[in-house]
Chain A
Amino acid sequence: MHLLFIKQMNINLNQICKHFGKLQANDHISLLIPGGTIQGILGENGAGKSTLMKILSGFIQADEGEVILDGVQVRIHSPADAIQHGVGMLHQDPLDFPPMRVIDNFVLGQSGGLFPDWKSVVDEFKQLSEQFDFKLRHDAYVDMLTVGERQQLEILRLLWLGAQVIILDEPTTGISALQKQKLFETLKILAGRGKTVIFVSHKLEDVENLCDRVVVLRQGKLVGEQLKPFNTKNLVNMMFGKSIALEESKSHSTDRIAFELRDLSLEEERIQIQNIDLKIQAGEVIGLAGMEGSGQRPFMQACAGFLRPVHGRILVNGRDMTGMNYPAFKRQGVGYMPASRLEEGMIPGLTLSEHFILAGQQEGLFIDHDQWQEVTREKIRDYNIRGKPESPVESLSGGNQQRALLALLQQPLKLVLLEHPTRGLDIESVIYTWGKLKERCCDGAAIIYTSSDLEEILLYSDRILVFFSGKVSAPLSARGTSVAQLGNLIGGKDWARIKTGVGVTA
């Protein structure tokens, strides 16, 4: 097959322009990518990275400019067109069909006969997986795969369709450190075999670890290019136009107990968590580390009153709340911010102002819109939200939705529960978000949050609980723990050496 001999493809983007209304998303971008390399495209949210890649992969068309593949100018009208030219794109969320088998997904994108030739397809699948060292079973069901494996499946499918260039848009969002490592290995193998990999990300660290070369976009313009080895400070300067670093975090922990778990045991479909004892002080920040699905979610849900514990007691500010529901927890000052902003956190179709009305106190029967407009404007100023009181929430960008969710949490709170509070945000927004959260701590709130970013966990937490398939570590002090130690625990290593808050696990 054509995959077996090495062919490299050079990509030349020449003066690409694209605007959406008044927004110039791509402003005369020119870029040369030699075959067989890993090219990083770096930039903060909204810099124009995704737009450029969607143009290259045929999802949208450029207003001006040329795409030249191996010296030939091409017009790419659709994703199918792109793959014909050897360009395949892996999306932020895998576009597969969960209730089907791996091999079904594999065949789906293929054009041609009514009846697939299963035997030869399976053979080719096995051959390809072997070649790139993937451990995918062709008869497994997709909904049983991890996000990382689904990415592998999608990469395999693109290769099988003849992709010479593979574009990955923020592929490390929402996957664990281990899965990321695996993905990077795969991408390096791909590049070694002559494929061109384009890696789009706003995470400096990922780009530095993986890429051979990197370009930086800012506000639609290409502002600079670097080859390995990279100068971090320089890259940050290019991304933001100024130098910033994650600032040192201060602890606001006090000695008053805000939240307490006594011998708590939880059960959810696949996960059992047993015998957790935990006392959290007012102002303290607890980070939950672990791969997704290791038990953090049921833990958080129990703390918010969504999930009833099978054993043990939950105390908020000294009051026994065991067995009560979320509204009761909320009345006691427990706030909960879900990870998926538009699915669980906000109501698409309603405006910012209407959200503050819903979250606020009812006064009388009729809504005093002027008064709430004023309240909303105040929150918008206070939380630096780019939007108007009458903006529908779905029109806000991800970072602004995040800030709006923070603003919607009631005041004051005893306990704030946050799922991935900074996922998908650029560094500036991360720093801003934590600044706001630390203000809550100053006011005496305790915080429990999950994150897959280990540096974030170590930097902003006072203590850390590590989750590994239902096992929960005793609280570790963030000061005395390193990224490497934490990484090992998350991956299931070194558990013998630490205490767990747990008896038996299933």
Chain B
Amino acid sequence: MMKKRWLNLGFQLSALVLALGFTTLILLATKTDPWQAYKYIIIGSISSLRKFTDVLVSFVPLLLVSSGLLVTFSAGLWNIGVEGQITLGAIATTWVLRLLQDSSLAPGLIIALAMLAGMLGGALWASLAGALKTYGGVNEIFGGLGLNFVATALTLWLIFGPWKRPGIGSMSGTEPFPNTLWLPMISGFRLSLWGLGLGVFFIILIYFLMKGTYFGLRIKAVGKNLKAAYLLGVPTTRYLMLAFILGGALAGLTGAIQVTAVYHRLIPSISSGYGFLGLLVAMLVNFQAIWVAPIALFFAALNIGSIQLPIVLKLDSTLSGVLQGVLVLFVLLMDGVRQMITRRSGGAS
């Protein structure tokens, strides 16, 4: 058993080496010095406290959305609609903030209500994809993809229509909210400890939910064999819907954080691709909640670290995306290789 674990770790490490090797080749092909590029990524992410807090700002939404995706993944669902769920969370949050910003309620209460609304919005959007799947027989990938487009269209319509800035609507988003409606931040930095706290709280919650509860076990059972789970007495439709709702609520909270702690308004690309990046994280951790935080932190560091690449090396900052994507591909590939090897050496008649 122990030997097997080391073997698995070996394969995962070799995937990391291969991914780095592949990215290096790409860099060489574009006539860039790979060491320079990697050095600037590291410097750009951890060289100063300010930069590291920026990494954490990117880490919080990725952590939240990945935690939610862990649940849908465990239920055997490809929740591609997660981008739309983030967007709807942001829209719902913005809506409540707009509604209550002139009221006499305490700002803290308004923010709390807005964030709850964000979770509800995400959950609602996810349950649409869920209902399409469980009652309509529409694969969640297609349903989710369609709803993503609808969510984007809805955002643009709001920004240029009913919620446009006084005068003229612009791609820069809605009118920013006053400071009092921002999630409190550490002074001098962009990081909100409240956001970080929520992220940490939810990944711990999901960890225990999936590991120790009846709910988590049933979600896993549904994901691994829907038919057998039904025969054993698990109400499968209900658990599929619950997985969607929980995943959607966390995606919605991600959107709420983007509005209350990062942009302080609704912008057209409010989800910032965190949904798709979260899918990569969820794939990489292979259902193990314990790995979500470290991987999400690593990805966030890559994101922030590569921001200055265009300035110093004339290299597009999407290099981090290349590395992240290649990493996932190689991990999946090495996992296939591992299975092939262990199957060949084992297997009695």
Contact = CB atoms under 8 A, between A and B. Distances in A.
Do A and B share a complex? yes
Contacts of A357: 214, 217
Contacts of A49: 349
A345 B229 CA distance: 8
A326 B215 CA distance: 21
A51 B348 contact: yes
Of the candidates A20, A49, A346, A358, the one having the most CB atoms from chain B within 10 angstroms of its own CB is: A358
Nearest to A358: B232
A420 to B, nearest CB: 15
Interface in A209-247: none
Contacts of A343: 225, 227-228
For the residues of B in contact with A, the DSSP-based class is helix
B349 A48 contact: yes
Interface residues on A, range: 20 to 34
Interface of A: 20-21, 23, 25, 46, 48-51, 54, 326-327, 330, 336, 338, 343-350, 354-355, 357-359, 362, 365-367, 408, 410
B224 A348 contact: yes
A358 B224 contact: no
A344 B346 contact: no
Interface in B34-61: none
A20 B349 CA distance: 9
Contacts of B146: none
A336 B229 CA distance: 13
Interface residues of B, number: 23
A408 B220 CA distance: 18
B231 A350 contact: no
Of the candidates A46, A343, A367, the one having the most CB atoms from chain B within 10 angstroms of its own CB is: A367
Interface in B201-220: 212-215, 217-218, 220
B221 interface: yes
B227 A25 contact: no
Nearest to A408: B232
Given A20-B347, A362-B214, A367-B212, A347 B233 contact: no
B145 interface: no
A355 B224 CA distance: 12
A348 B234 CA distance: 16
A410 to B, nearest CB: 8
B235 A327 contact: yes
Contact of A345 (B217, B231, B346, B348): B231
A25 B228 contact: no
B54 to A, nearest CB: 38
A157 to B, nearest CB: 24
A366 B348 contact: no
Given A20-B348, A49-B349, A366-B213, 7 more contacts: A23-B348, A54-B349, A343-B225, A350-B221, A354-B217, A367-B214, A367-B217
B133 to A, nearest CB: 19
A349 B224 contact: yes
Contact of B233 (A338, A346, A359): A359
A198 B229 CA distance: 40
B230 interface: yes
B214 A365 contact: yes
Nearest to A336: B231
7 contacts: A20-B346, A344-B231, A347-B232, A348-B225, A358-B232, A367-B217, A410-B233
B348 A350 contact: no
Given A20-B347, A347-B225, A408-B232, A358 B217 contact: yes
A23 B234 CA distance: 37
